Amino acid sequence: MDSIEVAGLQFVKFIDQKQISLIVDRLAEDIKKQYYNSRPIVVIILKGSIHFASQLLLESELDAELVFIKISSYDGLNSTGKINIELDITQSIENRDVLIIEDIVDTGTTLYQYKMTLVDRRPKSVKICTLLMKPSKLQYPLEVSFCGLEIADKFVIGYGLDYNEQGRNLADIYQLKEE
Ligand code: 5GP
């Protein structure tokens, strides 16, 4: 379906499964090269990154330790500007390579603030891999080492991304329809 209704809003298909797979294949190659002689701690941000992280890690066959965290800064369609860490890493990351996997970077608030809390714990490196990014919205000097696709400033759902907890399990990514 090219057009769907989710929680009362209209969305149109934007990135289909095939395109997503191509993007993930490329990122998997890049990550494999980056960590060929390391065993990174991979930090997966719940819930939006789950399909992306799962496909990416299977593709890359990365020898990694997986950690799940839960942080949020979004309420409905908008960023609140503050992060709320609901679930965090409990083990030591000192001297370890850390790779954060995120679904989408918008203002950068979530990852900029969260990355700071990791840097304080003296890891060897902290890198970010995101499926999508909205460069026109970025408000922080956030270095993103691996980015799947840069998109315009429009709200998207599907492939893990939700609108008020709906639409996460759509296999394609949809964009909010212009009025
Ligand atoms: P930031 O802190 O960079 O402004 O926002 C990042 C978080 O906001 C993402 O992890 C995601 O949860 C949410 N977010 C930002 N843009 C979108 C979007 O277009 N669609 C959805 N579903 N979530 C978004």
105 lines ligand 1 (CB under 6 A): yes
Q: What is the pLDDT of residues 113-134, one digit of tens each?
A: 999 999 999 999 999 999 999 9
For the whole prediction, is pTM greater than 0.75?
yes
Query: Can you list the alpha helix ranges (DSSP code H) found in the chain?
Result: 17-34, 50-60, 109-119
> N- to C-terminal Cα distance for the chain?
19
104 lines ligand 1 (CB under 6 A): yes
Closest to 115 measured CA to CA, from 106, 102, 103: 102
* Residue 3 pLDDT class (50, 70, 90 cuts): very high
Cβ of 118: how many Cβ atoms within 10 Å? 18
> Of ligand 1's atoms, which has the minimum distance to the CA of residue 154?
19
**Strand pairing category for 65-75 and 156-157:** unpaired
Closest to 158 measured CA to CA, from 19, 14, 24, 27: 14
Domains of the chain: 17-155 (3.40.50.2020)
Active site residues: 106
Q: What is the pLDDT of residues 4-38, one digit of tens each?
A: 999 999 999 999 999 999 999 999 999 999 999 99
- State whether residue 110 is helix, strand or coil: helix
79 lines ligand 1 (CB under 6 A): yes
Q: What is the pLDDT of residues 131-173, one digit of tens each?
A: 999 999 999 999 999 999 999 999 999 999 999 999 999 999 9
